[in-house]
Amino acid sequence: MQRPRFEAYSAFNLIAVALILIAATSTAIPFAAPAGAAAKGKLVLAWHAGFASRWLDPQEHDGTATPDNFFTAIHDALIKNQGTELYDHPALAEHFSVAPDAKSATFTLRRGTRFHNGDPVTPQDVKFSYENYRGAKADVFKKKTERVDIVDDRTIRFVFKEPFLDFAILFGTANVAGPAWVVPEKYYKQVGPDAFKQKPIGAGPYKLVRHEPGVRVELEAFDGYYRPVNAKQLVMIAVPEAATRVAMLERGEADIVYNVPGELITKVGKLPGVTLAPVLSGSFFIEFAGFQDPKNPFHDKRVREAVSLAVDRRAMNQAETAGMGKPTGNWINNDVQYAIEWPEFPRNVDRAKQLLREAGYPNGFDVDWVTPLPTFYSRGERLIAQLREVGIRGRLQTMERGIYFQRLQAGLKEFPGTQIILHGVRIAGSWSFWYEGHFKCGGFNSRDRICVKDLDGKFDQYERSTNPAERKKLAEEIQRGILENYYLVPVFRHAFVNAIGPRVVLQKWQDVFPTITTGYAYPWEDIKVKDQ
């Protein structure tokens, strides 16, 4: 079996290459055909959120991590993230290659793959899915793609107008964009996009049996899938209240529950037969909205550094996620492209006070508002208590989620005076996706709150560059620039803690949550349940 010849391509850093190599040796992809027939048992998953119907349609991927739960069950992609493979796990494609000039990419389809309605997966379906894609980052693909060529009945080539260095990573990371996910053209056109979301048909390991919009999705093993499917039935239920989810686990009504809140982690870990799965997820960091104004106390680098010295990252991690998160140096997680290693920041209250004295605040100062990402209010409260020890006095501002994002997107005028925002983001794919939306002047979520001109200049240079070595260098310079100047103060990586019940067969939690780029439990077909 052929693996993609990626090692030769120097655009990807050593870590990624190493991971791919490990994956290549450990992941066997068998060809056994009607594998779903042997499936047995029922797997019930209790979710922390209500289901949006768009999550069942990769054509309208919203760019968040949640929909890949459904994509990886119902649909399949040419390449995707799976296990330790970040974006290039060959799924519907048997192998692929990107031209050395990065101006085209060629995929060879696996033989004999079918959609749930029995139709074969054809290059035409791939072409349709790509060209009709209108979700997150669709404009990037549109802008850069010249045409899509069907070379033969198994081969398809994407031809770009200019070198498209990020193509594979954008294409294959399920929690960033969705054009790699193949939908059946005929069926999609026949029922239309809205009806497709009610009753989607895909080429994934599970086919839809019943769909109650927003609350329940029942799936059954698809025996035409090219990998063995273990559990016969997969049921996903939306259970918004955390305490109820834990009760379901305790009573055996659910086999996997997502998002166990901090207070319950210790207790759930002690339940008989239950395994905790603490997956490292989004990074939390402190942002000083409007610090560029010389009158703002945070304009002084020493004051920003004092904030960093005042934060007790370990106490925060211990109290909020039972110590299962990770106090961080770099807020860019190390599973994304070009992330640099950075040591954990120290805590030193005396040094923080001294820096504040030097900066002219011997008695500290008042912060108008400390606004945490909803609904992590208690993290904001802890931050306030910690800052108070060095004399920075803040008040908590809580916002409902929709209002918070609207205010972020409106920019500095919604955050006047002296402000601290404790923001949290799950960064996926490439560090640059984060920079573009959350740091750059004019970015969708950053607007005019940060605006560091020389870093933005470097970012533009990065975007224009087609030289991988130069891009890597710029990426690292920018991250270092942010960290050394405390433009942001990283706090910790949040642990998205899930729990697995006794019916699921496992040696360690990573057997059920093997995919490192996500907090969720897939590939679904690999999860085994004991037969009752």
> Token pair 């696996």 is at which residue?
110
Quote the least distance from Cβ 428 to other proteins, whole Å.
10
266: helix, strand or coil: helix
Compute the distance between CA of residue 479 and CA of residue 489 in angstroms, rounded to an integer: 12
The interface region with other proteins, picked from 99-107, 272-280, 384-392, 458-466 by CB under 8 A, is: 384-392
Q: Using CB under 8 A, which of 237, 352, 482, 495 touches other proteins?
A: 237
**Helices and strands counted in the chain (H then E):** 16, 19
Q: Using CB under 8 A, which of 23, 247, 349, 505 touches other proteins?
A: 247
Q: Which is nearer to other proteins, 131 or 381 (CB)?
A: 381
Query: Residue 425 pairs with which residues in a beta bridge?
Result: 283
Quote the least distance from Cβ 11 to other proteins, whole Å.
21
What single letter denotes the amino acid at residue 74?
Answer: I
Quote the least distance from Cβ 231 to other proteins, whole Å.
19
Convert 237-260 to b/e letters by CB count within 10 Å (16 or more is b): bebeebeebbebbbeebbbbbbbb
Closest CA to 73 of 196, 276, 231, 260: 231
Strand 155-160's sheet: what is its strand order? 93-98, 104-109, 155-160, 145-152
Convert 482-502 to b/e letters by CB count within 10 Å (16 or more is b): bbeebbbbbbbbbbbbbbbbe
Q: Which is nearer to other proteins, 27 or 259 (CB)?
A: 259
Compute the distance between CA of residue 376 and CA of residue 378 in angstroms, rounded to an integer: 6
Does residue 368 interact with other proteins by CB under 8 A?
A: no
Does residue 168 interact with other proteins by CB under 8 A?
A: no
CB 89 within 8 A of CB 135: no
370: helix, strand or coil: strand
Scan residues 306-335 and list those touching other proteins (CB under 8 A): 319
Closest CA to 164 of 179, 182, 146: 146
Does residue 272 interact with other proteins by CB under 8 A?
A: no
Quote the least distance from Cβ 370 to other proteins, whole Å.
11
Q: Which is nearer to other proteins, 260 or 359 (CB)?
A: 260
Compute the distance between CA of residue 525 and CA of residue 409 in angstroms, rounded to an integer: 39
Does residue 441 interact with other proteins by CB under 8 A?
A: no
Quote the least distance from Cβ 360 to other proteins, whole Å.
26
Structure tokens at 330: 């770099």
Does residue 257 interact with other proteins by CB under 8 A?
A: no
> Token pair 């997107």 is at which residue?
409
H or E segment and range at residue 95:
strand 93-98
The interface region with other proteins, picked from 20-28, 30-38, 92-100, 380-388 by CB under 8 A, is: 380-388
3-state secondary structure 311-330: CCHHHHHHHHHCCCCEECCC
Q: Which is nearer to other proteins, 268 or 355 (CB)?
A: 268
80: helix, strand or coil: strand
CB 98 within 8 A of CB 105: yes
Quote the least distance from Cβ 47 to other proteins, whole Å.
10
227 C-beta neighbours (distance < 10 Å), count: 18
Compute the distance between CA of residue 312 and CA of residue 295 in angstroms, rounded to an integer: 27
Q: Which is nearer to other proteins, 181 or 226 (CB)?
A: 181
Q: Which is nearer to other proteins, 216 or 314 (CB)?
A: 216
H or E segment and range at residue 482:
helix 468-484
Q: Which is nearer to other proteins, 259 or 466 (CB)?
A: 259
Q: Which is nearer to other proteins, 10 or 409 (CB)?
A: 409
Does residue 148 interact with other proteins by CB under 8 A?
A: no
Query: Residue 69 pairs with which residues in a beta bridge?
Result: none
Q: Using CB under 8 A, which of 120, 374, 411, 502 touches other proteins?
A: 374
Does residue 443 interact with other proteins by CB under 8 A?
A: yes
Quote the least distance from Cβ 45 to other proteins, whole Å.
13
Does residue 142 interact with other proteins by CB under 8 A?
A: no
Compute the distance between CA of residue 175 and CA of residue 197 in angstroms, rounded to an integer: 18
Closest CA to 493 of 281, 213, 307: 281
- For helices 453-464 and 468-484, the axis angle rounded to 10 degrees is 160
Number of residues that bind other proteins (CB under 8 A): 69
Site map 455..494 versus other proteins, x via CB under 8 A: ----------------------------------------
Does residue 199 interact with other proteins by CB under 8 A?
A: no
Scan residues 67-126 and list those touching other proteins (CB under 8 A): none
- Please measure the distance between the N-terminal and C-terminal CA atoms of the chain and give it in whole angstroms: 37
Does residue 445 interact with other proteins by CB under 8 A?
A: yes
Does residue 218 interact with other proteins by CB under 8 A?
A: no
Q: Using CB under 8 A, which of 190, 375, 467, 485 touches other proteins?
A: 375
Does residue 53 interact with other proteins by CB under 8 A?
A: yes
Q: Which is nearer to other proteins, 64 or 461 (CB)?
A: 64
The interface region with other proteins, picked from 97-105, 235-243, 354-362, 479-487 by CB under 8 A, is: 235-243
Q: Which parts of this chain interact with other proteins (CB under 8 A)?
A: 50, 52-54, 62-64, 136-137, 139, 193-194, 197-198, 212-216, 237-244, 246-248, 250-251, 253, 261-264, 266-267, 319, 374-375, 377-378, 381-382, 384-385, 388, 396-403, 405-406, 409, 425, 433-434, 436-438, 443-445
